[in-house]
Every structure is written in C-alpha cells, then in structure tokens.
Amino acid sequence: MSRDISYQAVMARKNEIMKASMGIDYDVYKTGKLAFDYERMMDDCGFTTEDIVKIQSSTKVGNTPMFELHNLTEAVRKISAPGKGARIFVKDEAANASGSFKARRASVSAYVAQQKGYKGMIAATSGNYGAAVASQAAQRGLKCIIIQEVYDSKGIGQPEIVEKGRKCEAFGAEVIKMSVGPELFYYNLLTLEETGYFNASLYTPFGIKGVETLGHEVAQQIRAMTGKDPDAVIVTHAGGGNLTGTARGLLQAGCKAQVVACSVDLSGLHMASDNDFNRKSFTTGHTGFGVPFATWPDRADVPRNAARSLRYMDDYMLVSQGEVFYVTELLSKLEGMERGPAGNTSLTGAVALARELNQDQIIVVQETEYTGAGKHHNSQLSFARKMGIEVRRGDPKDSVNGKSIIIPENLGQVMGHRQDMDKLRMSYLKNAAKQCDPSEWSQVDKEFAAADVKKDIKWLENALKTL
C-alpha cells in the first residue's frame, strides 16, 4: 500500500516521524495536561558537561576566546553619566568550526546520530545552524540535507540566506532551497521519513545541552580574567536555544549573572509573509522568532521544546536594524573585529545596557558569528536599497520596519528599548490556555507554567484571573 504523502497525512504522522528520527519518546515525560518533566528530559540525554566538552573538542568546537573590548567600552563611557559605562567583553564564537555558536548545538546531535547508527542528518533552517550541522556531519562521515527557505515568490533570494546555503554546500551538504511559506516543516518531515536520517532539530535536548558549555566557559573565563562573575550576560535571542543553553551553563557553573535577551525589533513585519520576507535585513535574532518562541516554545518541530527562554530570561532588550549596523561597523573600526550583524545584535544591546551600569560592572556579549559575502552588513544594506528600503543616517527611532533603515549619526543614539516582560508572560499563559483550559490545570500544571514564565504560583494564579 502506497504511503499518503499529502500535507495533512504527513503532518498527522509528525510524532511518529519524530520518534523514529531522534529516538526520543516525548510521551514518557508527560506529567499533566499541560506539564511535562523538563529536567528529566534534559537529564536523559546522558551527557555530563565534561562529556560534551570532549565531544566538542574532537570536532573543533568550544573553548573559544574571550576578549575585553577596551576601545568600545571607553567610547561608551564618554557618552555616559559620570561613573557609568560597564566593561564590555565578547565571547568570540566565530572561532568555532562553522563560524558560529550553532556548532555547539550541532556537535552533540552529530555525535548522537553517529552513535545510534544513522547514515545522515537533516535540519530545516535558513540560519547558521545549517552550516553547523553540515560541518559536524562532514567530520563524522555522515550525509547531510539542509532544507532552507531562501526565496520569495519572485525567486529573489535574501543574500544572507544565500550565503549560508553556499556554506552548507561547501561542507558537502545537499541543500533543498524553498520559497517562504508553510511547507518547510512538511518537507522536513517528508524527507526524514523518506531517508531515515537523524533529525538534527534546533529544539531537541541534544542541541540545548550543546550550548550549556558556552555558559560554563563564559563564567570560567570571566572569573579568570577579572576575579569575579559577570553582572550581566546578554544573548542574541531568536528561537530561544542560545539563551536557554547559555543560562543553564551559567547556573551549572554557579554564576547568577542577569541573563538579558536581545532581539532586533522587526515589529510590523510577518516572518511567513511573502511580501515581508525580503523587506527585512535580519533573518535571525529578531522579534519575529524571539517573541513567538518565548511566548509559546512548543510551536517548534518537536513535541516538546527543550529551548524555553522565559524560564531563564531576566530582561529583554530590543534594538533597531540601523543600530546594529552602526555597532557592527564600530566593532570593526574600534576593535579590529569584523563579525556578522546578526551576532552583533547582543553587542548593540550591551552598548545601551553599559550606559546604565557602573564602570566596575561587567557585561558579557556571549557570541559572535562569521561574516562575509551576503552576510556582510554592506551586502545587506545594498540589498535593502534594491528592495526599495530607504537607507540613511539620522535618528534610528524614526525607522519604519519594511520601509526605512536609519543608521545612527553617533553612538549616543544607540539606545534600544525594553520589551515588556509581563506582557510576554501573559501571552504565554494565553497560549497555554488554548491548549488546556486553566480550570482543568492540576497543581503540577500550575507549577510547570509558573516555572516556564519564571514566576511563583501566587503570581500565576493572580495572572490567570485576568485572562
């Protein structure tokens, strides 16, 4: 009997396909109508931090350098109030084999795939993760397929995504290039089913465990360099795995630094819109992923997402596209480091945050990414102009997403602004209520939801009354 490969039929087989392609039975972790045993799911990976360090060191991942940005810090102090202007450090994750922190996530998945006897790996991503999976697969002798949203309906490819596809192919991966739309996960599931390959999803416990070493290294390196813990670690936030893994690693190292998310504010643009797809200059690290995944992480391609950012987030900063491009150029000119704009999102947030903190305090920007070709900020700005976006100098507060990118005229205009954390938490509860009416939540469900929004039961119960 032939297999039904219609959209509806394949999506209906999602859990079956996921179980076969990862070897994880998510049903065993269910503890309530809403709740599941998150920590047990993470622990069942079976890897200690020491194990993951060994896995990563064998494939050119981890132990990346930490640099203090002396010149940028001094520039920030010149525009700050007396005594203000925290020290800014950056963890240079561009030193990983594929050029970004995503190599940490892919390294564990590739190891597991090899150990379990899978012949290859598949990932659905338009970002740096595809290159990371391809790089790790190449080193372990595995085949690799990357399914990538590249084009709008006119066949125009976003230059940053085109560059990432080129890098995937350079590592030997087959890249299936698609136009924007709802078919991405359908093709992901279909290809997993057809090939029997390992699902190197961004949102498995393996991927998050791989990032925990990043947080651990941040704590150890800052202690060695300064004799104390950082006051804040700022993380470029998209799907939530970067923040979740880093925060968990910091906690494992006994470091209680504030964990600050930072995204490019792309409000007004819809990520799945064919019209909006090429009217943005950032394909990751923006609110189009950061807000939806924070407010309902289980929208992912796995039944239960291991990336649960609101559990660990203390604050959330938003910055404009123009501010990030300005700071990207400044990093090159002041510090001699040319890195990709998406990774510099958190650096932009750090510049704004440093002005609020004292000079003896420490901010760590926990990642950078490689740049070049379509990822370079000049390529992005040239493409924006071709798409009819106004690019000019001025006050970035006047930017209109999808219509204009305004580059600051001076560092003092790099201000960013805060995301309302309680608004995010209420959005999470509304999404949770759609899954199961709160009147049916058990105590276990309430405790799970409270942990997922980093609040106590009393706050949760008061919040539920307002829904």
Q: What is the pLDDT of residue 184?
A: 85
What's the pLDDT tens digit per position in 351-396? 999 999 999 999 999 999 999 889 999 999 999 999 999 999 999 9
Q: What is the pLDDT of residue 1?
A: 53
What's the pLDDT tens digit per position in 17-36? 988 998 898 999 999 999 99
Give the three-state DSSP class for 365: strand
Q: What is the pLDDT of residue 19?
A: 87
User: How far is the CA of 126 from the CAs of 95, 141, 169, 419, in angstroms?
Assistant: 21, 23, 13, 25
Q: Using the 8-state DSSP alphabet, how is residue 126 labeled?
A: S
Distance CA 131, CA 121 (A): 12
pLDDT > 90 fraction of the chain, expressed in percent and rounded: 89
Report long-range pairs for 20-25 (Cβ below 8 Å, ≥24 apart): 20/192, 20/193, 20/196, 21/122, 21/192, 21/196, 21/197, 21/198, 21/199, 22/198, 22/199, 22/201, 22/204, 22/302, 23/116, 24/204, 24/205, 24/302
Residue 196: what residue type? G
Buried b (16+ CB within 10 A) or exposed e, 285-308: bbbbbbbbbbbbbbebbbbbbbbb
Q: What is the pLDDT along the chain (467 residues), one digit of tens a residue?
A: 578 999 999 988 888 898 899 889 899 999 999 999 999 999 999 999 999 999 999 999 999 999 999 999 999 999 999 999 999 999 999 999 999 999 999 999 999 999 999 999 999 987 899 999 999 999 999 999 999 999 999 999 999 999 999 999 999 999 999 998 878 889 999 999 999 999 999 999 999 999 999 999 999 999 999 999 999 999 999 999 999 999 999 999 999 999 999 999 999 998 888 999 999 999 889 999 999 999 999 988 888 999 999 999 999 999 999 999 999 999 999 999 999 998 899 999 999 999 999 999 999 999 999 998 899 999 999 999 999 999 999 999 999 999 999 999 999 999 999 999 999 999 999 999 999 999 999 999 999 999 999 999 999 999 999 98
Residue 42: what residue type? M
* pTM of the predicted structure, to 2 decimals: 0.96
Q: How many residues does the chain have?
A: 467
**Domain parsing of the chain, residue ranges:** 55-99+212-418, 421-433+441-465
What's the pLDDT tens digit per position in 299-314? 888 889 999 999 999 9
Does residue 227 come out as left (phi exceeding 0), alpha (psi in the -120 to 50 range) or beta? left
Q: What is the pLDDT of residue 141?
A: 98
What's the pLDDT tens digit per position in 426-463? 999 999 999 999 999 999 999 999 999 999 999 999 99
The CATH fold of domain 55-99+212-418:
Rossmann fold (3.40.50)
Q: Where are the alpha helices (DSSP H) in 64-179?
A: 70-78, 102-115, 128-139, 159-170
Q: What is the pLDDT of residue 223?
A: 98
